[in-house]
Amino acid sequence: MTARFTFRKNEKLSNFRQIDRLYQEGHSFVSGPLRVNYLLCTDTEDQGVQVLIAIPKKRFRKAVHRNRLRRLIREAYRLHKQALTDLMEDFQGVFLIGFTYLGDRIDITFAEIEKKITDVLPKLESVVRNVHDSH
């Protein structure tokens, strides 16, 4: 399949029930300044990968700083998501992912964020593979 470097509205996790479920039932790990929560839901009619990006207001008071960090994380994910979305094409269900920025640096570069995202995505791919192989 050809690579699609887009981040469409249906890839954004915005359903409050699913967000609550992600944080209550999901698993998480920390990689550098990112905490990654994930949950593979097979009991829904949705398909694909849905992503939530959270920047704590307590740590970054100015919206312009939160928006910049959110934009960097979204862009890094958008450029490197292809393998994960390809895996989910033959899987019935939706993979919910929540990225939370835990760092306290506002001057973090795109290269640093991109490195962390490229470290995280193979771990998430292995989760999907393990569940897919067990079915």
Q: What is the pLDDT of residues 75-122, one digit of tens each?
A: 999 999 998 888 888 788 899 999 999 999 999 999 999 999 999 999
Domain boundaries, the chain: 9-128
Tens of pLDDT along 51-61?
Answer: 999 999 999 99
Mean pLDDT of the residues in the chain = 90
pLDDT at 1 over 80: no
Tell whether domain 9-128 is in CATH 3.40.50.2000: no
pLDDT at 2 over 80: no
β-pairing verdict for 94-101 and 48-54: parallel
